[in-house]
Structure formats: structure tokens, C-alpha cells
């Protein structure tokens, strides 16, 4: 059976078959973008306000972003999250090493 060539217009749905996965990915990018714009740490309550879902969904997003290396959780109570260098690279923020100045 010959494979059929698929033409792509480079839209999101070309490479991801699930609209749910696309929507979730876009919401996680929104969370990261908001975290970059915010000063200080981010809480699950902050994320809840940005995505408009349940508190558990906000916590799940933060857990997934932490496991993927995009955010770091602090040990405070309540816990807070900050973006990592990996996240800063996505949003093209140049990191300056103090030794290079």
C-alpha cells in the first residue's frame, strides 16, 4: 500500500490530531507567558485566574510544566513557581552571565 503524501499549511492541526491537546498546549503557553510578565512567584491561584479552569487543572498544568523543566517550585508554604532558563529561551529573553559583563 503506497503512502499518501499530505500537504501541510503549517497550521497547528496539521501536526496534532487532538484539538484538546492543542488547546491544552496553548493554555500552558499562556501560563508561561503570564509568568514571564509577572514579577515574583506564581501560585496555582494566579494560574486559575489566567486559564479559567478548575484549581486541580491549574495545579496539574504547573506540575506538568515543572516536570518538563519550564518552572521551578519553591519550598515555601504556600508553594510558588518561577520560570526557568528554558522558559526564558522560549520567549527569547537573553540571559547575561555576570562573569561576562
Give the Cα separation of 42 and 87 in Å (integer): 14
Domain presence at residue 8: no
Domain presence at residue 4: no
Give the Cα separation of 37 and 43 in Å (integer): 14
> Domain range holding 85?
19-100
Domain presence at residue 6: no
Q: What is the pLDDT of residue 93?
A: 56
Whether residue 70 has pLDDT greater than 70: yes
Give the Cα separation of 16 and 80 in Å (integer): 31
Whether residue 58 has pLDDT greater than 60: yes
Q: Per the structure, how many domains does the chain have? A: 1
Choice between 67 and 7, residue whose per-residue pLDDT is larger: 67
**Can you give the CATH number for the domain in which 60 is found?**
1.10.10.10
Q: Average pLDDT, whole number, for the chain?
A: 82
Mean pLDDT of 71-77: 89
Please enumerate in sequence order all residues whose Cβ is within 8 A of that of 10, keeping only pairs 6 or more positions apart, or say none: none
Per-residue pLDDT of 1-32, as tens digits, reads 555 565 655 554 555 567 777 888 899 999 99
Amino acid at each position: 500500500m503506497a503512502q499518501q503524501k499530505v500537504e501541510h499549511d503549517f497550521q497547528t492541526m496539521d501536526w496534532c490530531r487532538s484539538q484538546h491537546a492543542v488547546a491544552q498546549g496553548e493554555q500552558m503557553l499562556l501560563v508561561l507567558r503570564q509568568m514571564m510578565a509577572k514579577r515574583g512567584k506564581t501560585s496555582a491561584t494566579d494560574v486559575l485566574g489566567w486559564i479559567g479552569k478548575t484549581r486541580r487543572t491549574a495545579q496539574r498544568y504547573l506540575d506538568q510544566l515543572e516536570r518538563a523543566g519550564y518552572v521551578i517550585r519553591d519550598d515555601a508554604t504556600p508553594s510558588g513557581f518561577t520560570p526557568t532558563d528554558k522558559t526564558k529561551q522560549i520567549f527569547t529573553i537573553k540571559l547575561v552571565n555576570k562573569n561576562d559583563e
